[in-house]
Structure 1
Amino acid sequence: MMHSSSVKYVFLGCAVLLMAMASCGGDGHNDKPKVYKGLYSFGPEIKSFSECGREKEFWVTDSSSQLELEYSQLNFEKPYEPVYVEVEGVKVPSDKDGLGAEYDSTLVVRKLIKITREIPQDICH
């Protein structure tokens, strides 16, 4: 039979474990990829994405290695020209240091679905 002090420690341990588990997913970021549609700009110092219908801007990391390549093949005369993209990725907190530090979140692109110079006015304005 367990003593009452042992029961308290078991209960306390369970409570701490449950709190720790609950806090793991509480920041709004998860690892399940999602399709994002919006405007992407690329240049020497900026890799940014603005989701259609939202005002927030995100830093972009291209783990697909396709987004930056396809953007550069559009042969713009100057950098930072926005293009419409549809990408699959996840949002994560931005690093505290480096070029993307001024952004709250980073969009990690895992797959490029679509990239075009034509910005659809009905979707993204």
Structure 2
Amino acid sequence: MRLKNISVIILLLTMTALAACQPDVKEGSDATDTATQASGKPNAPVTFKGSYSFAPGAKIFQFCNQTKQFWAVDSSAQLELKYSQLITFEQSGTPVYTEVEGYKIKSAATGDAAAYDSTIVVKKVLKLTKDLPADCK
């Protein structure tokens, strides 16, 4: 009986230790850098061109000439900063043209991103301007 109790305690401690080792991935954290494709390899950055808008509860990326929108996660810590330098708080939500490097992942099942099928994880901001090009509406 005593051996059984010790075995149960060891099992519980092992399960607790394993659970504690799991990364806690939060939106915008560096832990999103570890997102992987189905192959198990890290996602390679891709250049995305389109519009970006930021408002409380809305961080939206949309490819040029497409209607589908994506949730945007700013792991570069530059996208939201540069956006706020171009657009005043009163104008928040106004789209700007952007070129970014990043990758696309499946959106989280909960939170604001849950309303979108996919999330664009921004690793680097290449260009951000108020002027949307004619071929990007």
Normalising by structure 2, what TM-score? Answer: 0.68
Counterpart for residue 87 of structure 1: 100
Correspondences of 1:42-121 after superposition (within 5 Å): 42-76=54-88, 77-121=90-134
Q: Of Structure 1 and Structure 2, which has the larger fraction of its residues in helix? A: 2
Structure 1 runs (4+) deviating above 2 angstroms are 75-78
TM-superposition CA deviations, 1:74-125 (whole Å, max 9, x none): 142321000000000000000000011000000000000000000001x202
Indicate the SS of the match to 1:73.
Answer: helix
- Residue identity (%): 48
Which runs of no fewer than 5 residues in structure 1 stay unpaired?
1-22
Normalising by structure 1, what TM-score? Answer: 0.74
TM-superposition CA deviations, 1:24-52 (whole Å, max 9, x none): 34xxxx70110000010101110000001
Q: What amino acid sits opposite 1:60 in the alignment?
A: A
